[in-house]
Amino acid sequence: MQNPSRFLKHPDRIASYFKSEVPVLIIVTISGLIYNVGMLAGPYFEGQLAQRLFDIYHHRAVFRDMLTLALAYVAVIGIVQAMRAVKRFGVRRFANNISRDMRRLLYNHLVHPDAETLSGEDTGALLTKAISDVDACAEGLRKFTTEIFDTGVVMIAYFVMLLHYDWRLTLLACAFTPLAYMAADRMKGRVTAANAAYKKSEEQLNTVTLDRIAHAVTYRLFGRESARDAACEAQLSDYEDKSAKANLYASALTPLYDAIAMFGAVMILYFGGRNVAGIGWTAWNIAAFTTFLACFTKLAVKASHASKLFNSVQRASVSWKRIKPLMQDAVEDDFHPDDQPVKSQPLIFQNVACGYTAPDQLSCLSFAAVPGEIIGITGAVASGKSLIGKVLLGEAPYTGTITVGSKPLSTFTPEERLTAFTYMGHEPELLSMSFKDNIALGEPLNPTPYLRAAALERDLDDMHRNADSAVGAGGGLLSGGQQARLALARSLAHARSIVILDDPFSAVDPATEDALFAALKQYAKGRVILLISHRLAHFPECDQVLYLENGTAVCRTHSALMKTEPGYRALVNAQKKGGASDAKK
């Protein structure tokens, strides 16, 4: 994917988007100037045609004169409209490019979220920003660019032309135009507030809708469907009300602006008639009166468009303020760790202390593991078992020294972490796709060996399914144990130097657990495997066991811990008794 930040030095500044499209804007500027200055041809030729018709009626001209003038009018308008087509194409190209760059930046931020984004906004808000707000910003920039010429330049041209015919009448008739701008400025605050409320309601509607879809089964099982439907309907009604109000301020006020701006036509009919009669400020003929009136009418319409533009810009500014924090330099994600060779690297912890928010939850973590070893990690509930994996992934702070190979972990780049570690969480995220897609993650690999290693082949046969079968939304068609084993298969398919497995034996029977551990021993060759588990049946086969208790850690062999650590011995004996009871049953 092309990275827009290569062309945008400051993606959080609107000016950067204009600078990135300078070639297109040059074409827009040239064609826009020609088109909008050429718009003067309309009122001029309309006046000349009216005068020519008057002259024909009084036998001062013939039909050929009218035809010649009409053909010249058509030719000039053809050139003007050709420039209009070029300008409109350029503006549309400009807006499309801006929308593309904003979407790429925003989507890149959404798929590489920081902790603040994840904790501070719900999915509905993010979807609204990704879809609605980017569209509003791009549309606002398009209208702004369009109206610079179609309103700004042409209004100046019309105004100069009016001054040429009668400067006094021009000032008098145009005195009402600023009133339209004043009305638009007075409505600016209400337009902004109405659109902010509309965007907020849209966020909440998206959130409620996603919640209703994602948790439909839960609401049905507990008989809460009607209550959630009522909440959805209430939010939909609120969204409709706020949307209608926002649209009212944005579009329904245009007739008001038109009425204010067009009041100057009354002045022209009176004082312009005096000019034609020869008793006004300037002597006019029919052509001058017609041209002046047509020119003012177009100027007044453009004035109302400018007022409408103010409303559109206000709407776009609301959306820009919402997405501006997400308009950051894109994160490059072209790095593929599977393309890098797997190294056999030892892992050493030396007097490490760590925690989720500060390094004060676990201390005295010291152990060394060499490639080919399986290190069992266990302890009571909330003893910090999963914390060790978070530390290695860079998601939790620590003190002390952690060395991977010959390099301190603190000096690892994100790419180096990807090439060193493979992580399977105790709540694995599964794709709503097929078994194969969940294992391969887009890589061209054969999923069969990994399905076999995770003891899923028999499950597929029993379910009359295969590797191309879908697993449902988030793995919803699978049991908890099958979900964990599919995540394990994915981890083995992409195993790096150090494999961190958090509770891979979840919800499996003893026979399946035996098969899984046998597979792990095969994959441990040349790798270090950290096996985080509360199921201890195979811990006697681990090379070392890291036992966590009361915020500290002890690393020894299973047999040594059974002799020296009462807590560990109690966990093992309790599971043995539980297993014996299950066997009797």
pLDDT for res 487: 92
**Which DSSP state fits 331?**
P
Nearest CA among 80, 48, 79 for reference residue 65? 48
Domains of the chain: 8-187+253-326 (1.20.1560.10), 345-584 (3.40.50.300)
Rg of the chain, C-alpha, whole Å: 37
Structure tokens at 536: 């201890």
376 strand-pairing partners: 531, 545
pLDDT for res 446: 92
The bridge status of strand 407-408 relative to strand 398-404 is antiparallel
Q: Report the amino acid identity of residue 146.
A: T
pLDDT < 70: residue spans in the chain: 1-8, 110-130, 149-150, 177, 180-185, 187-189, 249-262, 303-312, 329-335, 578-585
pLDDT for res 187: 67
Asked whether the beta carbons of 232 and 204 are under 8 A apart, the reply is no
pLDDT for res 583: 38
How many whole angstroms separate alpha carbon 132 and alpha carbon 140?
Answer: 12
What residues have CB less than 8 Å from 299, skipping those under 6 apart?
155, 158, 159, 162, 174, 177
pLDDT for res 472: 84
Structure tokens at 150: 């179609």
H or E element that contains 367: strand 362-369
pLDDT for res 367: 94
* Exposure class string for 82-104: b at 16+ Cβ within 10 A, else e: ebbebbbebbeebbebbbebbbb
**Phi/psi of residue 426, each to 5°?**
-75, -10
pLDDT for res 376: 96
Q: What is the pTM of this model?
A: 0.59
Classify the phi-psi angles of 346: left when phi > 0, otherwise alpha if psi is within -120 to 50, otherwise beta. beta
How many whole angstroms separate alpha carbon 371 and alpha carbon 274?
Answer: 102
What residues have CB less than 8 Å from 477, skipping those under 6 apart?
470, 471
Q: Which residue has the tokens 């790798």?
A: 527
Asked whether the beta carbons of 352 and 399 are under 8 A apart, the reply is yes
| Cα Dmax for the chain | 126
H or E element that contains 539: none
pLDDT for res 183: 66
**Which DSSP state fits 284?**
-
Sheet of strand 347-354: strand arrangement: 407-408, 398-404, 347-354, 362-369, 552-556, 544-549, 374-379, 528-532, 498-502, 421-424
Structure tokens at 180: 């339209």
pLDDT for res 342: 87
pLDDT for res 113: 60
* Chain-centre distance for alpha carbon 279: 66
Count of residues for the chain?
Answer: 585
